[in-house]
Amino acid sequence: MLYWSSSVNMPLDLFSYIREASLSFTIARYLACLVLSSSAVELILNRDSRTKRLIDLRRIGGWAVLNNQNLDTVSRHGLPVNNLLSAGETLNDAAPVTFVARRNKIAHGEILPLIRDLSDYDSFAEAESLDQLTKSQRFVVEWFNSAPDVQTGRIQNHRWPDED
């Protein structure tokens, strides 16, 4: 379990995603863990004040989705994207990095490459979920410890600055 200091600077939606992802992993609900881990990162891409108005982010219906190009863009604006990469991966590859590929499989209903049995008995799904969760948690922790919205107190009472 992760703890936040000061906790009121952690947005409630983000806290909920990362908390529920961890709990889902703990009770072997690996599909939920994969979804929520990815959603936590995607939420930051869309809510962080450094990225909200970037015109070079590819958006669908106004929402910046996880893809290599968007991750490369937000990394240039200070988000800790390196935490999402596996050894040897770069955002310049044509194929999505593993974190994005998993997110895409789940988002598009293609779970068989990730879950090959009842998920709570599937050691492969467990390993994939743990990797996604670990990367997501590292990303969120480093973001929290360095984000101007957090460090300058723009996030207050568990609310992003534009929710006031």
11-68 pLDDT tens trace: 999 999 999 999 999 999 999 999 999 999 999 999 999 998 899 999 999 999 999 9
- What single DSSP character describes residue 114? T
The residue segments making up the domain with residue 146 are 11-153
Q: How far apart are CA 13 and CA 45, in angstroms?
A: 13
Answer whether residue 163 is part of any domain: no
Write out the two tokens for 68. Answer: 């290599």
Answer whether residue 43 is part of any domain: yes
Answer whether residue 120 is part of any domain: yes
How many CA atoms, within 13 angstroms, populate the side-chain half-sphere of residue 10?
A: 20
Percentage of residues in the chain having pLDDT higher than 90? 68
Answer whether residue 20 is part of any domain: yes
- Count structural domains, the chain: 1
Whether the full predicted model's pTM is greater than 0.85, yes or no, is yes
Answer whether residue 2 is part of any domain: no
Answer whether residue 162 is part of any domain: no
- Residue 68, SS3? helix
